[in-house]
Each structure stands twice: as structure tokens, then as C-alpha cells.
Amino acid sequence: MVKDIDEAMEHIRRYGSQHSDAIVTGDASAAERFLREVDSSAVFWNASTRFNDGGQFGMGAEIGISTDRIHARGPMALPELTIYKYVVRGTGQTRE
């Protein structure tokens, strides 16, 4: 049990997985603050964290999940697992 939203968000920050977190409240300003400030791959207001799934988000079959902050974060399907390679062909151009 926590006494207020500040204590709840501190608990999530300290002990959470940064995967999915939810707030259940009728207080719209508290909910908006939670959605804005909690650092997880998905945050929910009055909805189940079980919705944090690639299929639910329209990505097709989920291949994995990531809580990293670089590249893919959250549910991952094939496009999120793709590595990019840029190929540049020039004729002596320079950059000034």
C-alpha cells in the first residue's frame, strides 16, 4: 500500500521492470501525470497491463519484448528486430 501518487511512482521507479504499469483512478489529472512521468514501455489508465502485446497493438505476431531505451522498446515484431544498413554511392562529394 502507498499513501499517494508520489509514493506509488517512486515505488515503480525503484522496483518496477519498466515493462508495463497501470493506474486505476477516476482522477484525470493524476492519471495524466502518471502516464507522462512513469518510465515504462507502456503505461495504462484504467486498463489491464495485459494489453502490452504486439498483437494487441497491431504489430502482428510478437517475437519478443524489450525494456531497453535504445532501439525497440515494448512489444517487438519483425520490423523492430530489423537492423538497418545505409549504402551511399558517390562520385567524390564532400561535406562542408
| pLDDT score of 84 | 66
Q: What does the alpha-carbon distance between residue 53 and residue 94 come to, in Å, rounded to a whole number?
A: 45
Residues 6+ apart with CB under 8 A from 21: 12, 34, 38, 40, 42, 43, 44, 49
Q: Which amino acid is at 46?
A: N
| pLDDT score of 78 | 78
Q: Which amino acid is at 79?
A: P
- Answer whether 67's CB lies under 8 Å from 18's CB: yes
- Answer whether 51's CB lies under 8 Å from 75's CB: no
Q: What does the alpha-carbon distance between residue 70 and residue 68 come to, in Å, rounded to a whole number?
A: 6
| pLDDT score of 61 | 73
Write out the three cell numbers for 86: 545505409
Can you list the residues of the chain whose pLDDT is less than 50? none
Residues 6+ apart with CB under 8 A from 53: 62, 75
